[in-house]
A and B are shown apart, each in its own frame.
Chain A
């Protein structure tokens, strides 16, 4: 582009204003990325749920258990590939603040159903041999600085009088899916069942099953619910994503709230930048008129103004998103345990950049068109 020099000279004529405008853009994009990440943290569960998995819970509610005998019965239904069961352990590690999810798992079937979880085979073999064994997600292990072989005390008061359960950390799991959960703590069903009071023995919190074919979901869930209808433990079967979505819906308007804040932020910043662009064009009206008088076309003048605002938008956008890339892991650490982990996905980044370009274009086009349409004579006459 032969006018590059001119555009650059215009950009840098007021350095403070340039810096402030780029700064506002950076702040806007930083907030955009942050809010998008928080929003996705609230709705993550539904996005990462397996399409070929169903969750079977007690019809009465999630806190009611199901008999352990259902596992084999569910497996007899055609179309079911594997079934595993979980219990919510709900214990506390040292202090309530150190919250992470603990599941009682069925080691024989867990990895057949939850195929995204990967545990090194030697660690898994140790876990199978060790009744008091535990497997923990990489994130949680890192958070507390646990190493394999550590003894982890968990205080539980959900099952019987409060007592401390001790577990040996046998392995660390990773999650194959981007953004997948790596914070859970798994313990053995057999050990759990031996040590809980009678009311909880022989029960499963809920079942998760894998289908041969995801298209079968409706038929299989109906078959399961019919099988246990009119028993004393009726079931409710739904896809994993419906199950997760049901949980998320209960956070209610938080998502809406975040979106509203995002709108306010954006509207505000659009105004600020738009105003700056307009001011800088206004100040240069006579210059632009001179350009037109010496033969530059209307369109070229528009391009000048637009190129300037786009350059500011892109610079600010990249700066803000760069800051977000640096800051979000730190913020994630600070909010640990309060929110699901914060993940800045490439999708959010590219959307952010797109929005920056859009705002840049919109805020440049209005003064740009004004500059294009003005009559040279009038503009030159103004002092």
Chain B
């Protein structure tokens, strides 16, 4: 026969100080676990959201990031007529881009950050359809004007609409803010590609990457086959979304390894804490347990009862830890993208799945911390336990 669960509730209540300590130990561990995973997730999501499945990114063969690419104007002309490229009102949907970094002070610390600047074609919003102007207007082609991402305008100094910034030794007017839906573009500054090449003394007929909008995601293979087969082109084609996913791997890996390690070691500490709490519970209740056994509850019932108690404590701990980190959701922070050395703003992303895995993690800790004391409680000879003071 099973021992009623109400017994566990009451006994936790009776020894609430040590139960609270065990709860907090588990809460801390779960909190760190969820926070680290959500950070890695947020970083990855920001980069992945930058790409669309129906866009193709073309760089020089062998380039690992846009920073190191080079695509000539002639190649771009061949690319725009390739099959699978969508057409808009004024011609094929293609943007030739130059990407570089320029130092702009951070609002938070006043020190320079390498802000990613992207020279784009004026029709870029037809290619990256999920990006909208939030405030002000788009830059006019041929004028020294820039539009900035919504994270960039808050994170870096002097990037508000109406102000003037210096870049490549020239002055540029900030005329608009765009919303790229929380992707990496939101940390960027965009301007006319030809003016950017001029300001940074780069060859006018060379770009670093070309992005085309495809008629459909399925048209990618056709486009890729055509481009790969053309002997005039020495380029690498990838889906925009795959390119950005790949860019996030190093940082995500680092955060996941570090976070996993810290949470893992902390879990050992928390299990020790839970073990301590449960062992003292068992020791303090030696007579109680023996009485129950004498009344006819089996050894298995005692084990189950103690494990339930440990699970109760760890569940509360896990839930508390999850609730405590919840405010981090959406909290924006900035760091350097190791692949491009550009500064990027991104947000913690806490998903229901993360919360659930945090809870499961807590329950696992509870079982590991509760089982050995439970077994010990069940194993003690009834007669000696009853005789104890």
Binding site for B on A (CB under 8 A): 14, 16-17, 20-21, 23-24, 27-28, 30-31, 34-35, 38, 59-64, 90, 92, 96, 155, 157-158, 161-162, 199, 232, 234, 245-246, 249-254, 257, 261, 264-265, 267-269, 271-272, 274-276, 278-279, 331, 334-335, 338-339
Query: Is A253's CB under 8 angstroms from B333's CB?
Result: yes
Q: Are B336 and A251 in contact (CB under 8 A)?
A: yes
- Measured CB to CB, the residues of B under 8 A from A are 17-18, 21-22, 24-25, 28-29, 31-32, 35-36, 39, 60-64, 67-69, 100-103, 106, 109, 111-114, 167-169, 200-201, 203, 234, 250, 253-254, 257-258, 261-262, 265-266, 268-270, 272-273, 275-277, 279-280, 283, 333-336, 343
Smallest distance from the beta carbon of A289 to chain B beta carbons, Å? Answer: 16
Contact indicator B25/A271 (Cβ below 8 Å): yes
Q: Is the CB of A24 within 8 A of B253?
A: no
Q: What is the bound-complex CA distance between A38 and B258, given in angstroms?
A: 9
A155: chain B residues at CB < 8 Å are 62
Contacts of B69 in A (CB 8 A): 157
Q: Which residue of A lies closest to B199 (CB)?
A: A60
Q: Within the complex, what minimum Cβ distance (angstroms) separates B281 from chain A?
A: 10
| Contact, CB under 8 Å: A27 / B28 | no
Q: Are B336 and A279 in contact (CB under 8 A)?
A: no
Docked pose: A248 CA to B61 CA in angstroms: 31
Contact A249 B109 (CB under 8 A): yes
Contacting pair B335 A90 (CB below 8 A): no
The residue in chain B whose Cβ has the minimal distance to the Cβ of A162 is B62
- Contact: B272 with A20, CB < 8 Å? yes
Question: Beyond A21-B276, A261-B262, is A275–B60 a contact (Cβ under 8 Å)?
Answer: no
Contacts A64-B200, A162-B62 given; indicate if A279 touches B102 (C-beta within 8 A). Answer: no
Contact of B334 among A14, A61, A161, A253 (CB under 8 A): A253
- Other-chain contact of B168, A23, A24, A60, A252 (Cβ < 8 Å): A60
Interface centre among B250, B273, B335 (most CB of A within 10 A): B273
Contact of A268 among B25, B61, B106, B257 (CB under 8 A): B25
How far, in whole Å, are A338 and B31 apart by their CA atoms in the complex? 24
Selected contact of A334 from candidates B39, B67, B257, CB within 8 Å: B257
Residue of A nearest to B167 (CB): A60
Q: Are B28 and A267 in contact (CB under 8 A)?
A: yes
Q: Are B111 and A269 in contact (CB under 8 A)?
A: no
Contacts of A162 in B (CB 8 A): 60-63
A338 near B68: Cβ-Cβ < 8 Å: no
Beyond A31-B265, A250-B334, 18 extra complex contacts between A and B, CB < 8 Å: A14-B283, A24-B269, A24-B273, A38-B258, A62-B103, A63-B101, A162-B61, A199-B203, A249-B109, A250-B113, A252-B334, A252-B335, A253-B334, A257-B39, A261-B35, A268-B29, A271-B21, A334-B257
A–B complex contacts, Cβ < 8 Å, 10 sampled: A34-B262, A60-B167, A62-B103, A250-B113, A254-B335, A261-B262, A269-B269, A271-B25, A272-B22, A275-B273
Q: Give Cα distance in the complex from A264 to B28, angstroms.
A: 6
Q: Name the contact of B114 in the complex, choosing from A30, A34, A62 (C-beta under 8 A).
A: A62
Q: Is the CB of B21 within 8 A of A272?
A: yes
> Which residues on B sit within 8 Å (CB–CB) of A272?
21-22, 25, 269, 272-273, 276
Given known contacts A157-B63, A338-B253, A339-B254, A17 and B272 CB-to-CB distance under 8 angstroms? no
A271-B111 contact given A61-B100, A96-B64, A252-B335, CB 8 Å threshold: no
Are the C-beta atoms of A246 and B101 separated by less than 8 Å?
no
List the B side residues contacting A334 at CB < 8 Å.
257
Q: How far is the CA of A331 from the CA of B260 in the complex (A)?
A: 13
Q: Which of B25, B254, B333 is close to A338, meaning CB atoms less than 8 Å apart?
A: B254
Min CB–CB distance B104 → chain A (angstroms): 10
**Bound-state Cα–Cα, A232 to B198, Å:** 13
- CB-based contact B254/A335 at 8 Å: yes
Residues of B contacting A276 with CB < 8 Å? 276
Q: Which residues of B contact A254 (CB under 8 A)?
A: 335
Given A60-B169, A268-B25: A250 touches B335 (CB 8 Å cut-off): yes
Residue in A61, A234, A271, A335 whose CB lies within 8 Å of B24: A271
List chain A residues, Cβ under 8 A from B201. 64, 232
Residues from chain A with a CB closer than 8 A to the CB of B31 are 264
| Chain A residues whose C-beta falls within 8 Å of the C-beta of B234 in the assembled complex | 161
CB distance from A35 to the nearest CB of B (A): 7
Task: Assess the B18–A275 pair: CB atoms within 8 A.
Answer: yes
A334, B114: Cα distance in complex, Å: 29
A265 (CB) vs chain B CBs: closest residue? B266
A31 to B106, CA, bound (A): 31
How far is the CB of A30 from the nearest CB of chain B, in Å? 6
> Could you tell me if B28 and A268 are in contact, using CB atoms closer than 8 angstroms?
yes
Contacts of A265 in B (CB 8 A): 28, 32, 262, 266, 269
With A61-B114, A279-B280, A338-B253 as contacts: A249 and B275 at CB distance below 8 Å: no
